[in-house]
Structure 1
Amino acid sequence: MTFLSILFALLLEQLKPLRADNPVYREIKAFAVRMETWFNAGDAAHGRLGWFLMMFALMAPVSLVYWLLLRYNWIFAAFAWNVLIVYLTLGFRHYSHYFTSIQLALNAGDEAAARALLAEWTKQDTIGMEANEISRIAVEKALITTHRNVFGVFFWFLMPLGPAAAVMYRVSEYLARAWNEPEHMRNEAFGEFAAKAFYWIDWIPARLTAVAFAVVGNFEDAVYAWRNFADRWKDEAIGIILAAGGGAMGVRLGTPVENAAKLVVSEAGEITDEEVDTLPGEEPSVRALQSTVGLVWRALLLWMMLLLLLSGAVWLG
């Protein structure tokens, strides 16, 4: 049932992709705002309480419905419930129109349109960016978005809690951003637990995504970049995914600080470059966008093949 649920949800999303501003997401975002308003008294313990209450409020109904459907042996209804929850938690097509439009604009030489689309997608200043910089940021955003909206959901949906675990993953990812990234929430104690919780929830999925990128891409360069460069990103999970993804495609991702040679201080106090530790690959270009599409689809097929094998082993067992 697990494999078919994911397969049908993916097909449904291809036919009828959910918009990022759909009513379900809007209600969850509004709920998160209310929880922050009710519980934020400037203490980390309040953020922890708000996080657990919000998770319980969203996961309990999903688990209860699924349990009742299985309890009364309504298999097809339980299958439909799984498909619905996976469909709502996946985001494979939420932002793909941005990526595709940026790729088309750059291919047409319209850097101004590409910058405008990238700014709308990433909510950052893109004024003055050249094609290579636009391509790099678009590739990075696509890899991270795919991991958090697809592969992370896959992993948690396979866990015993099933659809409720998928909800937990997506909501925890959103709370880690919503309670920390806005200007009025930065450096506030309230969002500390949300960030730590998502770090541990995403610890295994992030590494599995990196492994998938390595397997379907250039394995040696992906592993080399992962081992030597992942720790240069401020966010550990993002560093692992981008280092492995860039190595798999033969593209240098990250800022100059993140992909520069490692600085070494000699005994004489001189700072030198350790050239052996330079990130392999080429500077991102418009071609890197097409390489990203291929890498993501190959990784998706790998996940689905492994899931099919696992489901078959369970069924035969």
Structure 2
Amino acid sequence: MTFIALVAALLIEQARALSAGNPAHIAFLRLSDALERSLNSGRYEHGVLAWLIAVVPIVAAVVALSAYLDGIGPLLVLLFDVAVLYLTMGFRQFSHAYGDALAALRAGDVARARLSMERWLLRPASDLGSNELARLAIERGLLNAHRHVFGVIAWFAVFGAAGAVFYRLAAMLHDRWSQRPARTETDFGTFSRAVFRWCDWIPVRLTAVSFAVVGDFEDALYCWRSQAANWPDPSEGVVLTSGAGAIGVRLGSTLGVVEPLEVRSEIGTGEDADAELMTSAVGLIWRALVLWLFVISLVTAASWFG
């Protein structure tokens, strides 16, 4: 059922993508903001309490509903799993923005590419050149593919619908409570960071391995081993270095003169980023997804006939 649910959810999303501003996501973000306003006194234990209030009731409800539907019949469980995956996976949530930037760079319209990246990343891009825009797009595309697709699949494959929901909520709280500079100065977001790093430890490595398998294996592993720890977020570094090595592109490095100036280590190997390598990154993600589905189909078949 895992394989069938994944394929069905991916097909539905390709036909009718769920926007990042869909009601379910907006409702949870409003809940997280309300909890932060009410409980954020800068203390670690208040961050723990807020996280538990935000996540545990929702995950418990998914577990209870899954168990109830399982008692009625497997078809209802399958439909529920597809619905959960449709809500938690977001392949098309970022692919449109990526595609817009790619089309603009292919046409040589750097100004339009800058606008596309600004809308996508919610950050200034007016001083970035075409190579820097392509570099940023590949980085964000690889990370979003992991967060919105591979990480969710990994948790769903092991823990079912509740696992997919848990991973997605943990990722959203990590981004909401601990990523903005003003919020890193207090201990409120420390727990959300720690939980997400824990639950993402295995998925990021599975994603990195899959990039290596479907890309340049040796360069992917070399970049992963030698460069991942130099990235500001080592977990993100695992995904980015493996992906960069797999397609032979240089990522990272200082980005223009954006305020605040971003000084980052150079990662990857080979050519500087451009529209052609953006296309290669898309191919890498799709090949990795096919690999994941193939492995899951083998496990599913083994469970059926074993």
Interval of TM-score (by shorter of Structure 1 and Structure 2): over 0.9
Q: Spell out, residue by residue over 1:148-178, the C-alpha distance to the aligned partner (whole angstroms, 9 max, x if none).
A: 0000000000123x11110110111111110
- Supply the distance in 2 between the matched residues of 1:194 and 1:97 (Cα, whole angstroms): 29
Aligned: 1:196 with 2:203: no
Matches within 5 A, 1:77-156: 77-156=76-155
Alpha carbons 1:115, 1:126 under 8 Å: kept: yes
Determine the structure 1 residue equivalent to 2:259.
Answer: none
SS of alignment partner, residue 190 of structure 1? coil
- Supply the distance in 1 between the matched residues of 2:171 and 2:15 (Cα, whole angstroms): 26
SS of alignment partner, residue 26 of structure 1? helix
- Supply the distance in 1 between the matched residues of 2:35 and 2:182 (Cα, whole angstroms): 15
Determine the structure 1 residue equivalent to 2:234.
Answer: 236
SS of alignment partner, residue 251 of structure 2? coil
- Supply the distance in 2 between the matched residues of 1:94 and 1:239 (Cα, whole angstroms): 22
CA RMSD of aligned residues (A): 1.2
Alpha carbons 1:176, 1:195 under 8 Å: kept: yes
Instruction: Give the TM-score taking structure 2 as reference length.
Output: 0.95
Shift of 1:109: 0.9
Alpha carbons 1:246, 1:253 under 8 Å: kept: yes
The structure 1 segments of at least 4 consecutive aligned residues displaced by more than 3 Å after TM superposition are none
Matches within 5 A, 1:26-41: 26-41=26-41
Alpha carbons 1:222, 1:248 under 8 Å: kept: yes
Matches within 5 A, 1:1-317: 1-72=1-72, 74-160=73-159, 162-255=160-253, 257-259=264-266, 279-317=268-306
The unaligned stretches of length 5 or more in structure 1 are: 261-278
Kindly name which structure, 1 or 2, has the bigger radius of gyration based on alpha carbons.
1
Determine the structure 2 residue equivalent to 1:274.
Answer: none
Counterpart of 1:301, as a letter, is: V
- Supply the distance in 1 between the matched residues of 2:163 and 2:219 (Cα, whole angstroms): 33
Instruction: Give the paired residue count.
Output: 297
Instruction: Give the TM-score taking structure 1 as reference length.
Output: 0.91
> Greater CA deviation, 294-303 or 121-130?
121-130
Alpha carbons 1:242, 1:254 under 8 Å: kept: no
Identity %: 39
Alpha carbons 1:132, 1:283 under 8 Å: kept: yes
Determine the structure 1 residue equivalent to 2:261.
Answer: none
- Supply the distance in 2 between the matched residues of 1:92 and 1:228 (Cα, whole angstroms): 29
- Supply the distance in 1 between the matched residues of 2:204 and 2:45 (Cα, whole angstroms): 27
Q: Spell out, residue by residue over 1:43-88, the C-alpha distance to the aligned partner (whole angstroms, 9 max, x if none).
A: 101101111221112101111111001123x211111000000110
Shift of 1:186: 3.0
- Supply the distance in 2 between the matched residues of 1:32 and 1:68 (Cα, whole angstroms): 28
- Supply the distance in 2 between the matched residues of 1:158 and 1:126 (Cα, whole angstroms): 38
- Supply the distance in 1 between the matched residues of 2:112 and 2:276 (Cα, whole angstroms): 18
> Greater CA deviation, 181-190 or 110-119?
181-190
Counterpart of 1:181, as a letter, is: Q
- Supply the distance in 2 between the matched residues of 1:23 and 1:233 (Cα, whole angstroms): 34
- Supply the distance in 1 between the matched residues of 2:81 and 2:144 (Cα, whole angstroms): 22
> Greater CA deviation, 109-118 or 41-50?
41-50
Shift of 1:286: 1.3
Alpha carbons 1:180, 1:187 under 8 Å: kept: no
Q: Spell out, residue by residue over 1:277-311, the C-alpha distance to the aligned partner (whole angstroms, 9 max, x if none).
A: xx521111111111011000000000000000010
Alpha carbons 1:180, 1:188 under 8 Å: kept: no
Determine the structure 1 residue equivalent to 2:258.
Answer: none
